[in-house]
Amino acid sequence: MNDKIKVLLVEDEASLAMIMKDTMEPTGMSVTLAADGEEGLRAFFAEKPDVLVTDVMMPRMDDFEMVRRIREHDKLTPVLFLTARSSVNDVVDGFKMGGDDYLKKPFSLQELMVRVRRLAERQHLYEQATTAEITGGKDAWMDIGDYRLNPVTQQLSWQGHVEELSHRETELLRMLAENINQVVESHDILMALWGDDSLFNGRSLQVFITKLRHRLEHDPRLRIVNVRGIGYKLIQA
C-alpha cells in the first residue's frame, strides 16, 4: 500500500486522541478524530476510512451502538476496539457487534499502529482479490459440504445465497475445512488468528465457533464439535 492509511479515531479523551494522532500520522496514516459515537457515525460515512479505531466507553452513543449501525451498511471496513474494561463478556460483545480486533488500555502506541496497518493491508488485499475475481482471476472457492467458501473475498455461498464473512470467520472456517474430520488445536487457532492464546481470546474463539455453527446449519452433514481441552473439529458425515 503506497497511499496513506485513512484512520477514523473515535476517542472522547481529547489529550489521548491528540497524542495518538500525532504519533500515527508521521508513520503514513491520516487520522480523523471524533469525540463521541454520534460524531463518529457521521464521520465514518463522510470520510470512508480504511480502519475504524474506537473506544468502548463513549458519551452520547456508545461504540457498540455506533458499530452496529455502521454494520447495517458496511460489513467490511475493519474495526478495532480500545477498551479499559476487564470483563471478557465486554470483549466478546465487541466481536459479536462486528469488531475485528481489540486492544486493552493501557496499550503501546507501537502495537496499535502495527494492528491498524495489518487490518488495512488485509482489507487492501481483499479489494485486490475481489477485483481480480471480477475480471476473471483464479477461482479461489473451496467446497465444504453443500457450501462453498472463498477465503480471498471472504464469502460463503449456499445454493446461490452468498454471505459476507469477517476476516476471522473466514480464516477460522478455512483452517477447519483444510483439516476436515481432524482436530485443530485451540492454541494453533489462537496463535494464527489472534496472536496469543489468552483467556480473552479463548472466549472470543468460542463466539466465532458459535457463529460458524449457525452459518453452516443448512447442511446437516456438517458439524463443528469441541474436543474438550484440545480444540475443534469440523466433521463432514
Give, in order, the Cα–Cα distances in Å from 73 to each of 1, 30, 67, 69, 231. 25, 23, 10, 7, 34
β-strands 101-104, 79-83 pairing = parallel
Domains of the chain: 5-127 (3.40.50.2300), 168-236 (1.10.10.10)
Q: Would the pLDDT of 1 be above 80?
A: no
CA angle 110, 26, 117 (to 5 degrees): 50
Q: For residue 75, what are the contacts with CB-CB under 8 A and spacing of at least 6? A: 98, 164, 166
Q: Which of 124-133, 155-164, 179-188, 197-206 has the lowest mean pLDDT?
A: 124-133
Q: What cell was used for 237?
A: 458425515
Answer whether 0.85 is exceeded by the pTM.
Answer: no
Higher pLDDT, 3 or 25: 25
Higher pLDDT, 172 or 98: 172
Quickly state the pLDDT bin for 137 (edges 50, 70, 90): very low
Q: pLDDT, tens digit, for every residue of 26-37?
A: 999 999 999 999
Per-residue DSSP letter, 4: P
Higher pLDDT, 139 or 226: 226
